[in-house]
Chain A
Amino acid sequence: MTPDAALTAEPIPACAGIGLRGQHYEDVLTLRPAVGFFEVHSENYFGLGGTPHRYLERIRADYSLSFHGVGLSLGSTDPLSRPHLARLRELIEHYQPSLVSEHLSWSSVGGRYLNDLLPLPYTEEAATHIAEHVSQLQDSLGRRILVENVSCYLEFEHSGLTEWEFVNAVAETADCGILLDINNVYVNACNHGFDAKEFLRGISRQRVAEMHLAGHTENKFDGGSILIDTHNRRVCDAVWDLYRDAVEQLGPLPTLVEWDSDLPELPVLVDEAGIAASILEQSRARVA
Protein backbone atom coordinates (compact mmCIF):
# COMPACT_ATOMS: atom_id res chain seq x y z
CA MET A 1 0.00 0.00 0.00
CA THR A 2 1.57 3.25 -1.11
CA PRO A 3 0.84 6.85 -0.15
CA ASP A 4 -1.97 8.31 -2.24
CA ALA A 5 -0.45 11.38 -3.85
CA ALA A 6 -3.88 12.84 -4.63
CA LEU A 7 -4.81 13.08 -0.95
CA THR A 8 -3.81 15.53 1.74
CA ALA A 9 -5.02 15.59 5.32
CA GLU A 10 -7.09 18.76 5.74
CA PRO A 11 -8.07 19.85 9.25
CA ILE A 12 -11.66 18.91 10.09
CA PRO A 13 -13.77 21.95 11.05
CA ALA A 14 -16.11 21.83 14.04
CA CYS A 15 -18.70 19.54 12.48
CA ALA A 16 -20.34 16.21 13.30
CA GLY A 17 -19.22 12.87 11.90
CA ILE A 18 -20.24 9.24 12.27
CA GLY A 19 -18.45 5.93 12.61
CA LEU A 20 -18.09 3.96 9.38
CA ARG A 21 -19.00 0.27 9.63
CA GLY A 22 -19.02 -2.41 6.95
CA GLN A 23 -22.81 -2.83 7.05
CA HIS A 24 -23.20 0.77 5.85
CA TYR A 25 -20.64 0.86 3.02
CA GLU A 26 -23.17 0.58 0.20
CA ASP A 27 -25.61 3.04 1.79
CA VAL A 28 -22.87 5.61 2.30
CA LEU A 29 -22.00 5.47 -1.39
CA THR A 30 -25.63 5.65 -2.50
CA LEU A 31 -27.02 8.13 0.03
CA ARG A 32 -23.90 10.32 0.35
CA PRO A 33 -25.03 11.53 3.79
CA ALA A 34 -24.25 15.13 4.72
CA VAL A 35 -21.91 14.33 7.61
CA GLY A 36 -18.69 16.16 8.33
CA PHE A 37 -16.37 13.15 8.40
CA PHE A 38 -16.17 9.42 8.93
CA GLU A 39 -14.24 7.74 11.69
CA VAL A 40 -12.96 4.19 11.26
CA HIS A 41 -11.35 1.76 13.64
CA SER A 42 -7.80 1.63 12.27
CA GLU A 43 -7.53 -2.14 12.86
CA ASN A 44 -10.50 -2.80 10.57
CA TYR A 45 -8.16 -1.89 7.70
CA PHE A 46 -5.11 -3.87 8.80
CA GLY A 47 -5.92 -6.43 6.09
CA LEU A 48 -3.83 -5.75 2.98
CA GLY A 49 -6.64 -5.69 0.43
CA GLY A 50 -10.21 -6.61 -0.40
CA THR A 51 -13.64 -5.15 0.23
CA PRO A 52 -12.89 -2.87 3.23
CA HIS A 53 -10.20 -0.98 1.31
CA ARG A 54 -12.22 -0.85 -1.90
CA TYR A 55 -14.99 0.98 -0.07
CA LEU A 56 -12.78 3.14 2.12
CA GLU A 57 -10.89 4.45 -0.90
CA ARG A 58 -14.12 5.49 -2.60
CA ILE A 59 -15.45 7.08 0.57
CA ARG A 60 -12.15 8.87 1.25
CA ALA A 61 -12.40 10.49 -2.18
CA ASP A 62 -15.38 12.51 -0.90
CA TYR A 63 -14.98 12.72 2.88
CA SER A 64 -12.37 13.46 5.52
CA LEU A 65 -11.39 10.56 7.73
CA SER A 66 -10.45 10.03 11.34
CA PHE A 67 -8.43 6.91 12.24
CA HIS A 68 -9.33 5.70 15.71
CA GLY A 69 -7.22 2.86 17.08
CA VAL A 70 -8.55 0.32 19.56
CA GLY A 71 -5.71 -2.20 19.66
CA LEU A 72 -2.33 -0.57 20.17
CA SER A 73 -2.42 -1.14 23.95
CA LEU A 74 -0.66 2.15 24.71
CA GLY A 75 -0.85 1.66 28.47
CA SER A 76 0.68 -1.82 28.46
CA THR A 77 4.00 -2.40 30.19
CA ASP A 78 4.92 -4.54 27.17
CA PRO A 79 6.79 -2.68 24.40
CA LEU A 80 4.54 -1.31 21.64
CA SER A 81 4.01 -3.84 18.86
CA ARG A 82 6.30 -2.96 15.97
CA PRO A 83 4.17 -4.67 13.29
CA HIS A 84 1.11 -2.84 14.62
CA LEU A 85 2.91 0.52 14.46
CA ALA A 86 4.27 -0.21 11.00
CA ARG A 87 0.87 -1.12 9.58
CA LEU A 88 -0.75 1.93 11.16
CA ARG A 89 1.91 4.17 9.66
CA GLU A 90 1.35 2.63 6.23
CA LEU A 91 -2.42 3.15 6.45
CA ILE A 92 -2.06 6.74 7.58
CA GLU A 93 0.35 7.54 4.77
CA HIS A 94 -2.09 6.02 2.32
CA TYR A 95 -5.40 7.46 3.50
CA GLN A 96 -4.15 10.78 4.95
CA PRO A 97 -6.72 10.97 7.75
CA SER A 98 -7.32 14.36 9.35
CA LEU A 99 -7.34 12.93 12.87
CA VAL A 100 -5.56 9.96 14.47
CA SER A 101 -6.44 8.78 17.95
CA GLU A 102 -5.93 5.95 20.47
CA HIS A 103 -7.10 5.15 23.99
CA LEU A 104 -5.70 5.83 27.46
CA SER A 105 -5.93 2.17 28.38
CA TRP A 106 -4.08 -1.10 28.02
CA SER A 107 -5.10 -4.45 26.54
CA SER A 108 -2.12 -6.78 26.67
CA VAL A 109 0.54 -8.02 29.04
CA GLY A 110 3.24 -10.62 28.54
CA GLY A 111 2.29 -10.85 24.86
CA ARG A 112 -1.23 -11.94 25.73
CA TYR A 113 -4.00 -9.70 24.38
CA LEU A 114 -7.32 -9.33 26.14
CA ASN A 115 -8.58 -7.06 23.33
CA ASP A 116 -10.45 -4.71 25.64
CA LEU A 117 -9.88 -1.13 26.85
CA LEU A 118 -8.61 -1.94 30.34
CA PRO A 119 -8.26 0.68 33.09
CA LEU A 120 -5.01 2.18 34.34
CA PRO A 121 -4.38 3.40 37.87
CA TYR A 122 -4.29 7.20 37.92
CA THR A 123 -0.72 7.45 39.17
CA GLU A 124 2.39 9.36 38.13
CA GLU A 125 3.97 6.02 37.21
CA ALA A 126 1.18 5.08 34.81
CA ALA A 127 0.94 8.60 33.33
CA THR A 128 4.68 8.71 32.66
CA HIS A 129 4.63 5.23 31.20
CA ILE A 130 1.76 5.76 28.77
CA ALA A 131 3.05 9.20 27.82
CA GLU A 132 6.31 7.55 26.74
CA HIS A 133 4.33 5.21 24.47
CA VAL A 134 2.30 8.11 23.09
CA SER A 135 5.58 9.87 22.25
CA GLN A 136 6.86 6.76 20.50
CA LEU A 137 3.62 6.56 18.51
CA GLN A 138 3.82 10.23 17.51
CA ASP A 139 7.48 9.85 16.51
CA SER A 140 6.69 6.76 14.52
CA LEU A 141 3.78 8.39 12.68
CA GLY A 142 5.46 11.77 12.38
CA ARG A 143 2.32 13.53 13.56
CA ARG A 144 0.32 14.53 16.60
CA ILE A 145 -2.26 12.13 17.92
CA LEU A 146 -5.21 12.44 20.27
CA VAL A 147 -5.69 10.23 23.32
CA GLU A 148 -9.15 9.33 24.55
CA ASN A 149 -10.48 8.97 28.09
CA VAL A 150 -12.14 5.54 28.45
CA SER A 151 -15.11 4.18 30.38
CA CYS A 152 -14.02 2.39 33.55
CA TYR A 153 -15.84 -0.16 35.65
CA LEU A 154 -13.35 -0.22 38.47
CA GLU A 155 -10.97 2.16 40.18
CA PHE A 156 -7.68 1.33 41.86
CA GLU A 157 -7.05 1.97 45.53
CA HIS A 158 -3.72 3.64 44.82
CA SER A 159 -4.96 6.12 42.19
CA GLY A 160 -3.69 9.40 43.62
CA LEU A 161 -4.84 11.60 40.74
CA THR A 162 -8.32 12.35 39.47
CA GLU A 163 -9.05 11.01 36.00
CA TRP A 164 -8.81 14.46 34.41
CA GLU A 165 -5.52 15.16 36.15
CA PHE A 166 -4.26 11.86 34.75
CA VAL A 167 -5.42 12.66 31.21
CA ASN A 168 -3.89 16.15 31.43
CA ALA A 169 -0.58 14.76 32.74
CA VAL A 170 -0.29 12.30 29.83
CA ALA A 171 -1.19 14.93 27.24
CA GLU A 172 1.23 17.45 28.74
CA THR A 173 4.14 15.01 29.00
CA ALA A 174 3.67 13.56 25.51
CA ASP A 175 2.53 16.87 23.99
CA CYS A 176 -0.48 15.27 22.34
CA GLY A 177 -4.11 16.23 21.89
CA ILE A 178 -7.12 14.95 23.81
CA LEU A 179 -10.15 13.21 22.38
CA LEU A 180 -12.78 13.94 24.99
CA ASP A 181 -15.41 11.21 25.09
CA ILE A 182 -18.43 12.87 26.68
CA ASN A 183 -20.27 9.60 27.19
CA ASN A 184 -17.24 8.12 28.97
CA VAL A 185 -17.05 11.15 31.27
CA TYR A 186 -20.74 10.68 32.08
CA VAL A 187 -20.43 6.91 32.58
CA ASN A 188 -17.41 7.27 34.87
CA ALA A 189 -19.01 10.11 36.83
CA CYS A 190 -22.04 7.90 37.51
CA ASN A 191 -20.02 4.76 38.16
CA HIS A 192 -17.44 6.32 40.45
CA GLY A 193 -19.35 9.19 41.98
CA PHE A 194 -17.71 12.39 40.76
CA ASP A 195 -19.21 15.48 39.17
CA ALA A 196 -18.98 15.29 35.36
CA LYS A 197 -18.89 19.08 35.18
CA GLU A 198 -15.83 19.10 37.41
CA PHE A 199 -14.15 16.85 34.82
CA LEU A 200 -15.05 19.34 32.08
CA ARG A 201 -13.73 22.24 34.15
CA GLY A 202 -10.55 20.33 34.96
CA ILE A 203 -9.60 19.04 31.52
CA SER A 204 -6.82 20.85 29.70
CA ARG A 205 -9.00 22.95 27.47
CA GLN A 206 -6.47 23.90 24.78
CA ARG A 207 -5.55 20.25 24.12
CA VAL A 208 -9.05 18.91 23.42
CA ALA A 209 -9.36 18.55 19.63
CA GLU A 210 -12.28 16.13 19.16
CA MET A 211 -15.28 14.89 21.10
CA HIS A 212 -17.06 11.54 21.09
CA LEU A 213 -20.69 10.76 21.86
CA ALA A 214 -22.29 7.34 22.25
CA GLY A 215 -25.09 5.44 23.91
CA HIS A 216 -24.59 3.37 27.05
CA THR A 217 -26.52 0.70 28.94
CA GLU A 218 -27.37 0.33 32.63
CA ASN A 219 -26.57 -3.11 34.06
CA LYS A 220 -28.23 -4.04 37.33
CA PHE A 221 -26.27 -5.99 39.90
CA ASP A 222 -27.15 -7.30 43.34
CA GLY A 223 -26.68 -4.23 45.47
CA GLY A 224 -26.31 -1.68 42.71
CA SER A 225 -26.10 -0.85 39.05
CA ILE A 226 -23.39 0.28 36.69
CA LEU A 227 -23.33 2.01 33.32
CA ILE A 228 -21.61 0.10 30.52
CA ASP A 229 -20.25 1.90 27.43
CA THR A 230 -22.07 -0.31 24.92
CA HIS A 231 -22.25 1.97 21.83
CA ASN A 232 -25.48 0.23 20.89
CA ARG A 233 -28.15 2.93 21.16
CA ARG A 234 -28.90 6.62 20.82
CA VAL A 235 -27.12 9.17 22.97
CA CYS A 236 -29.20 9.75 26.12
CA ASP A 237 -30.56 13.17 27.16
CA ALA A 238 -28.15 13.52 30.08
CA VAL A 239 -25.16 13.01 27.76
CA TRP A 240 -26.58 15.53 25.25
CA ASP A 241 -26.84 18.03 28.15
CA LEU A 242 -23.25 17.34 29.16
CA TYR A 243 -22.19 17.75 25.53
CA ARG A 244 -23.88 21.20 25.42
CA ASP A 245 -21.90 22.14 28.53
CA ALA A 246 -18.69 20.83 26.96
CA VAL A 247 -19.24 22.78 23.73
CA GLU A 248 -19.92 25.90 25.75
CA GLN A 249 -16.74 25.49 27.78
CA LEU A 250 -14.34 24.12 25.20
CA GLY A 251 -15.80 25.67 22.07
CA PRO A 252 -17.20 23.84 19.04
CA LEU A 253 -15.00 20.88 18.02
CA PRO A 254 -15.24 17.99 15.54
CA THR A 255 -17.65 15.55 17.16
CA LEU A 256 -18.25 11.91 16.41
CA VAL A 257 -21.31 9.82 17.14
CA GLU A 258 -20.17 6.24 17.78
CA TRP A 259 -22.40 3.22 17.29
CA ASP A 260 -20.68 -0.17 17.17
CA SER A 261 -23.18 -2.90 17.98
CA ASP A 262 -26.88 -3.47 17.22
CA LEU A 263 -26.25 -1.14 14.29
CA PRO A 264 -29.33 0.71 13.03
CA GLU A 265 -29.90 1.85 9.45
CA LEU A 266 -27.53 4.59 8.32
CA PRO A 267 -30.14 7.43 8.54
CA VAL A 268 -30.43 6.90 12.31
CA LEU A 269 -26.72 7.61 12.72
CA VAL A 270 -26.98 10.60 10.39
CA ASP A 271 -29.88 11.85 12.48
CA GLU A 272 -27.81 11.60 15.69
CA ALA A 273 -24.96 13.46 14.01
CA GLY A 274 -27.53 16.10 12.99
CA ILE A 275 -28.37 16.74 16.65
CA ALA A 276 -24.68 17.23 17.44
CA ALA A 277 -24.31 19.50 14.40
CA SER A 278 -27.18 21.71 15.55
CA ILE A 279 -25.63 22.06 19.02
CA LEU A 280 -22.35 23.09 17.38
CA GLU A 281 -24.26 25.52 15.18
CA GLN A 282 -26.05 27.11 18.16
CA SER A 283 -22.72 27.55 19.87
CA ARG A 284 -21.24 29.31 16.85
CA ALA A 285 -24.33 31.52 16.58
CA ARG A 286 -23.92 32.56 20.22
CA VAL A 287 -20.27 33.44 19.73
CA ALA A 288 -20.91 35.37 16.52
Chain B
Amino acid sequence: MPGLRELQQQFAAGVLDPDHQAMEPSIRANGLTREQRLQIYRNNIFTSLTEALKATHPVVDKLVGDGFFRYAAHEFILRHPSASGDLEDFGAQFSTFLAEFPPAVELPYLPDVARLEWLYHEAYHAAEAAPLDIDRLSAIATADHERLCFSLHPAARLMRSRFPVLRIWQANQDDCTSDDSISLDDGGARLLIRRHEDVEFVCLGATEYEFLRHLDNAAPLGAAAEAAISLQADFDLTSVLARFVGDGTLTDFRLSR
Protein backbone atom coordinates (compact mmCIF):
# COMPACT_ATOMS: atom_id res chain seq x y z
CA MET B 1 0.00 0.00 0.00
CA PRO B 2 1.32 3.47 -0.83
CA GLY B 3 2.59 5.80 1.89
CA LEU B 4 0.65 9.00 2.57
CA ARG B 5 2.80 11.17 0.29
CA GLU B 6 2.52 8.78 -2.63
CA LEU B 7 -1.21 8.32 -2.04
CA GLN B 8 -1.79 12.10 -2.19
CA GLN B 9 0.25 12.41 -5.37
CA GLN B 10 -1.69 9.57 -6.97
CA PHE B 11 -4.99 11.05 -5.84
CA ALA B 12 -4.19 14.47 -7.33
CA ALA B 13 -3.03 12.89 -10.59
CA GLY B 14 -6.13 10.68 -10.78
CA VAL B 15 -8.50 13.58 -10.13
CA LEU B 16 -6.90 15.80 -12.74
CA ASP B 17 -6.51 13.11 -15.38
CA PRO B 18 -9.15 10.35 -15.66
CA ASP B 19 -6.64 8.18 -17.54
CA HIS B 20 -4.29 8.13 -14.57
CA GLN B 21 -5.35 5.09 -12.57
CA ALA B 22 -2.41 4.45 -10.23
CA MET B 23 -4.39 5.05 -7.06
CA GLU B 24 -7.49 3.10 -7.93
CA PRO B 25 -6.34 -0.10 -6.19
CA SER B 26 -6.20 1.88 -2.92
CA ILE B 27 -9.90 2.74 -3.08
CA ARG B 28 -12.57 0.47 -1.61
CA ALA B 29 -15.24 -0.09 -4.26
CA ASN B 30 -18.09 -0.90 -1.82
CA GLY B 31 -21.23 -0.31 -3.94
CA LEU B 32 -19.99 2.33 -6.35
CA THR B 33 -17.02 1.72 -8.62
CA ARG B 34 -13.66 3.24 -7.73
CA GLU B 35 -13.88 5.48 -10.78
CA GLN B 36 -17.35 6.71 -9.75
CA ARG B 37 -15.96 7.62 -6.33
CA LEU B 38 -13.02 9.53 -7.80
CA GLN B 39 -15.42 11.23 -10.20
CA ILE B 40 -17.32 12.75 -7.25
CA TYR B 41 -14.12 14.46 -6.10
CA ARG B 42 -13.21 15.44 -9.65
CA ASN B 43 -16.60 17.05 -10.04
CA ASN B 44 -16.44 18.86 -6.66
CA ILE B 45 -12.94 20.19 -7.33
CA PHE B 46 -13.59 21.47 -10.85
CA THR B 47 -16.96 22.90 -9.81
CA SER B 48 -15.64 24.88 -6.87
CA LEU B 49 -12.63 26.24 -8.77
CA THR B 50 -14.89 27.16 -11.70
CA GLU B 51 -17.37 28.88 -9.38
CA ALA B 52 -14.51 30.82 -7.77
CA LEU B 53 -13.36 31.95 -11.21
CA LYS B 54 -16.92 32.93 -12.12
CA ALA B 55 -17.27 34.92 -8.92
CA THR B 56 -14.24 37.04 -9.78
CA HIS B 57 -15.02 37.21 -13.53
CA PRO B 58 -18.81 37.67 -13.77
CA VAL B 59 -18.61 39.86 -16.89
CA VAL B 60 -16.42 37.38 -18.79
CA ASP B 61 -18.99 34.74 -17.81
CA LYS B 62 -21.80 36.92 -19.17
CA LEU B 63 -19.94 37.69 -22.39
CA VAL B 64 -19.08 34.09 -23.28
CA GLY B 65 -21.95 32.18 -21.64
CA ASP B 66 -21.94 29.32 -19.15
CA GLY B 67 -20.88 26.51 -21.51
CA PHE B 68 -17.89 28.34 -22.93
CA PHE B 69 -16.88 29.61 -19.49
CA ARG B 70 -16.88 26.09 -18.01
CA TYR B 71 -14.80 24.80 -20.91
CA ALA B 72 -12.28 27.66 -20.59
CA ALA B 73 -12.19 27.27 -16.80
CA HIS B 74 -11.50 23.54 -17.08
CA GLU B 75 -8.50 24.17 -19.35
CA PHE B 76 -7.33 27.02 -17.12
CA ILE B 77 -7.50 24.86 -13.97
CA LEU B 78 -5.34 22.20 -15.64
CA ARG B 79 -2.77 24.64 -16.96
CA HIS B 80 -2.64 27.10 -14.05
CA PRO B 81 -3.12 25.08 -10.86
CA SER B 82 -4.40 26.83 -7.78
CA ALA B 83 -1.44 27.63 -5.52
CA SER B 84 -3.24 28.80 -2.40
CA GLY B 85 -5.65 27.52 0.21
CA ASP B 86 -7.53 30.78 -0.22
CA LEU B 87 -9.81 30.51 -3.27
CA GLU B 88 -9.81 34.32 -3.58
CA ASP B 89 -6.23 34.00 -4.87
CA PHE B 90 -7.22 31.75 -7.75
CA GLY B 91 -7.47 33.28 -11.21
CA ALA B 92 -4.75 35.94 -11.39
CA GLN B 93 -3.53 34.50 -14.73
CA PHE B 94 -6.98 34.05 -16.28
CA SER B 95 -6.53 37.15 -18.45
CA THR B 96 -3.18 36.04 -19.94
CA PHE B 97 -4.59 32.53 -20.36
CA LEU B 98 -7.55 33.88 -22.36
CA ALA B 99 -5.21 35.92 -24.55
CA GLU B 100 -3.60 32.66 -25.68
CA PHE B 101 -6.75 30.51 -25.70
CA PRO B 102 -7.53 29.82 -29.37
CA PRO B 103 -11.33 29.40 -28.91
CA ALA B 104 -11.50 32.98 -27.56
CA VAL B 105 -9.67 34.54 -30.48
CA GLU B 106 -12.84 36.12 -31.90
CA LEU B 107 -13.29 38.17 -28.74
CA PRO B 108 -10.05 40.20 -28.76
CA TYR B 109 -11.24 42.42 -25.88
CA LEU B 110 -11.96 39.43 -23.58
CA PRO B 111 -8.49 39.23 -21.95
CA ASP B 112 -8.66 42.92 -21.07
CA VAL B 113 -12.13 42.49 -19.56
CA ALA B 114 -10.73 39.64 -17.46
CA ARG B 115 -7.81 41.83 -16.43
CA LEU B 116 -10.16 44.64 -15.39
CA GLU B 117 -12.21 42.18 -13.32
CA TRP B 118 -9.11 40.82 -11.59
CA LEU B 119 -7.83 44.31 -10.78
CA TYR B 120 -11.28 45.16 -9.44
CA HIS B 121 -11.16 42.03 -7.26
CA GLU B 122 -7.71 43.04 -5.95
CA ALA B 123 -8.80 46.61 -5.24
CA TYR B 124 -11.95 45.36 -3.50
CA HIS B 125 -9.96 43.30 -0.97
CA ALA B 126 -6.86 45.50 -0.59
CA ALA B 127 -5.84 47.25 2.63
CA GLU B 128 -7.21 50.58 3.83
CA ALA B 129 -4.92 53.64 3.94
CA ALA B 130 -5.02 57.00 5.67
CA PRO B 131 -4.58 60.11 3.49
CA LEU B 132 -1.04 61.34 2.93
CA ASP B 133 0.33 63.48 5.73
CA ILE B 134 0.61 66.90 4.09
CA ASP B 135 2.64 68.42 6.93
CA ARG B 136 5.22 65.69 6.60
CA LEU B 137 5.39 66.32 2.84
CA SER B 138 5.68 70.11 3.28
CA ALA B 139 8.70 69.58 5.49
CA ILE B 140 10.69 68.06 2.60
CA ALA B 141 13.23 70.55 1.21
CA THR B 142 12.63 71.64 -2.39
CA ALA B 143 16.04 70.30 -3.40
CA ASP B 144 14.92 66.81 -2.34
CA HIS B 145 11.62 66.79 -4.25
CA GLU B 146 12.94 64.86 -7.20
CA ARG B 147 13.98 62.06 -4.85
CA LEU B 148 10.47 61.63 -3.48
CA CYS B 149 9.07 58.16 -4.06
CA PHE B 150 5.29 58.14 -3.69
CA SER B 151 3.15 55.10 -2.96
CA LEU B 152 -0.24 54.68 -4.52
CA HIS B 153 -3.15 53.74 -2.27
CA PRO B 154 -2.95 49.97 -1.57
CA ALA B 155 -6.36 49.64 -3.23
CA ALA B 156 -5.30 51.49 -6.42
CA ARG B 157 -4.72 49.67 -9.71
CA LEU B 158 -3.77 51.12 -13.10
CA MET B 159 -5.06 49.73 -16.35
CA ARG B 160 -4.80 50.67 -20.00
CA SER B 161 -6.57 48.99 -22.88
CA ARG B 162 -7.12 49.64 -26.57
CA PHE B 163 -10.71 48.45 -26.03
CA PRO B 164 -13.48 50.23 -24.13
CA VAL B 165 -13.38 47.59 -21.40
CA LEU B 166 -14.85 49.85 -18.75
CA ARG B 167 -17.93 50.51 -20.87
CA ILE B 168 -18.21 46.79 -21.62
CA TRP B 169 -17.93 46.11 -17.90
CA GLN B 170 -20.54 48.73 -17.00
CA ALA B 171 -22.95 47.59 -19.72
CA ASN B 172 -22.81 44.10 -18.20
CA GLN B 173 -23.59 45.05 -14.60
CA ASP B 174 -26.92 43.82 -13.30
CA ASP B 175 -28.19 47.34 -12.66
CA CYS B 176 -27.28 48.69 -16.12
CA THR B 177 -30.29 49.83 -18.14
CA SER B 178 -28.49 51.33 -21.15
CA ASP B 179 -28.69 49.33 -24.36
CA ASP B 180 -26.34 51.58 -26.34
CA SER B 181 -23.98 49.70 -28.60
CA ILE B 182 -20.31 50.07 -27.77
CA SER B 183 -17.70 51.09 -30.32
CA LEU B 184 -14.74 48.78 -29.90
CA ASP B 185 -12.28 51.43 -31.10
CA ASP B 186 -12.60 53.44 -27.97
CA GLY B 187 -9.92 52.49 -25.45
CA GLY B 188 -8.19 54.41 -22.70
CA ALA B 189 -6.43 54.42 -19.36
CA ARG B 190 -8.13 54.01 -16.02
CA LEU B 191 -7.35 54.12 -12.34
CA LEU B 192 -9.34 51.68 -10.21
CA ILE B 193 -9.35 52.76 -6.61
CA ARG B 194 -11.25 51.94 -3.45
CA ARG B 195 -10.80 54.96 -1.22
CA HIS B 196 -13.96 54.41 0.82
CA GLU B 197 -16.60 51.70 0.39
CA ASP B 198 -16.69 51.04 -3.33
CA VAL B 199 -14.17 50.61 -6.09
CA GLU B 200 -14.32 53.69 -8.32
CA PHE B 201 -13.04 54.20 -11.85
CA VAL B 202 -11.12 57.35 -12.69
CA CYS B 203 -10.41 58.26 -16.34
CA LEU B 204 -6.77 59.13 -16.92
CA GLY B 205 -5.09 60.99 -19.75
CA ALA B 206 -2.16 59.17 -21.40
CA THR B 207 0.33 61.41 -19.58
CA GLU B 208 -1.28 61.03 -16.18
CA TYR B 209 -1.30 57.28 -16.69
CA GLU B 210 2.42 57.22 -17.49
CA PHE B 211 3.16 59.48 -14.53
CA LEU B 212 1.25 57.25 -12.07
CA ARG B 213 2.64 54.08 -13.65
CA HIS B 214 6.15 55.32 -12.98
CA LEU B 215 5.31 56.16 -9.37
CA ASP B 216 3.64 52.76 -8.96
CA ASN B 217 6.86 51.13 -10.16
CA ALA B 218 8.73 52.98 -7.39
CA ALA B 219 10.31 55.56 -9.72
CA PRO B 220 11.27 58.80 -7.94
CA LEU B 221 9.30 61.94 -8.70
CA GLY B 222 12.07 63.36 -10.93
CA ALA B 223 12.02 60.33 -13.25
CA ALA B 224 8.22 60.14 -13.28
CA ALA B 225 7.96 63.84 -14.17
CA GLU B 226 10.54 63.42 -16.92
CA ALA B 227 8.54 60.56 -18.45
CA ALA B 228 5.39 62.68 -18.33
CA ILE B 229 7.07 65.72 -19.87
CA SER B 230 8.46 63.62 -22.72
CA LEU B 231 4.84 62.81 -23.60
CA GLN B 232 3.39 66.25 -22.95
CA ALA B 233 5.69 69.26 -22.92
CA ASP B 234 3.31 71.40 -20.84
CA PHE B 235 2.79 68.73 -18.14
CA ASP B 236 1.98 70.66 -14.96
CA LEU B 237 3.68 68.63 -12.25
CA THR B 238 2.54 70.78 -9.32
CA SER B 239 -1.15 70.67 -10.11
CA VAL B 240 -1.15 66.98 -11.09
CA LEU B 241 0.67 66.08 -7.87
CA ALA B 242 -1.70 68.25 -5.82
CA ARG B 243 -4.66 66.49 -7.41
CA PHE B 244 -3.44 62.94 -6.74
CA VAL B 245 -2.41 63.76 -3.17
CA GLY B 246 -5.67 65.63 -2.57
CA ASP B 247 -7.94 62.88 -3.88
CA GLY B 248 -6.18 60.13 -1.92
CA THR B 249 -4.55 58.34 -4.86
CA LEU B 250 -1.11 58.87 -3.33
CA THR B 251 -1.08 57.92 0.33
CA ASP B 252 2.56 57.72 1.35
CA PHE B 253 6.09 58.67 0.33
CA ARG B 254 9.74 58.09 1.19
CA LEU B 255 12.98 59.65 -0.02
CA SER B 256 15.12 57.57 -2.35
CA ARG B 257 18.89 57.67 -1.89
B5 proximal to A (CB < 8 A): yes
Interface pair B27/A157, CB less than 8 Å apart:
yes
Would you give the shortest CB distance from A222 to chain B, in whole angstroms?
A: 8
| 20 A–B contacts from the bound complex (CB under 8 Å) | A47-B88, A48-B127, A48-B128, A49-B154, A50-B194, A71-B87, A108-B85, A110-B12, A112-B82, A113-B84, A116-B48, A121-B26, A125-B3, A129-B4, A153-B37, A153-B41, A154-B28, A158-B1, A221-B36, A226-B31
Closest B residue to A72 by beta carbon equals B85
Interface residues of B (CB under 8 A from A): 1, 3-5, 7-9, 11-12, 15, 25-28, 30-34, 36-38, 40-41, 44-45, 48-49, 52, 81-88, 90, 124-128, 154-155, 194, 197
Closest B residue to A46 by beta carbon equals B86
Contacting A224 at CB < 8 Å: which of B8, B31, B45, B82? B31
- Alpha-carbon separation in the docked complex, A51 to B154 (Å): 15
A8 proximal to B (CB < 8 A): no
Interface pair B85/A107, CB less than 8 Å apart:
yes
A4 proximal to B (CB < 8 A): no
Interface pair A43/B88, CB less than 8 Å apart:
yes
Residue in A76, A77, A222 with the greatest tally of chain B CB atoms within 10 Å: A77
- Alpha-carbon separation in the docked complex, A279 to B176 (Å): 47
**Which A residues touch B40, using CB under 8 A?**
153-154, 219, 226, 228
Interface pair B85/A115, CB less than 8 Å apart:
yes
- Alpha-carbon separation in the docked complex, A108 to B125 (Å): 24
Q: List the 3 closest pairs (A to B, CB-CB), nearest first.
A: A71-B85, A47-B125, A48-B127
Interface pair A115/B124, CB less than 8 Å apart:
no
Interface residues of A (CB under 8 A from B): 43-44, 46-52, 54, 70-73, 76-77, 81, 84, 106-116, 118, 120-121, 123, 125-126, 129, 153-158, 192-193, 219, 221-224, 226, 228
Would you give the shortest CB distance from A9 to chain B, in whole angstroms?
A: 23
- Alpha-carbon separation in the docked complex, A211 to B195 (Å): 40
Interface pair B4/A115, CB less than 8 Å apart:
no
Closest B residue to A48 by beta carbon equals B127
Using A48-B154, A114-B82, A156-B28 as known contacts, list a sample of 9 further A-B pairs with CB atoms less than 8 Å apart, ordered by residue number in A.
A46-B88, A48-B128, A49-B154, A49-B155, A71-B86, A72-B85, A118-B41, A121-B4, A157-B27
Interface pair A221/B32, CB less than 8 Å apart:
yes
- Alpha-carbon separation in the docked complex, A226 to B26 (Å): 19
**Which A residues touch B194, using CB under 8 A?**
50
- Alpha-carbon separation in the docked complex, A35 to B33 (Å): 43
Interface pair A47/B126, CB less than 8 Å apart:
yes
Closest A residue to B36 by beta carbon equals A221
Closest B residue to A111 by beta carbon equals B83
**Which B residues touch A73, using CB under 8 A?**
85
Contacting B126 at CB < 8 Å: which of A48, A72, A81? A48
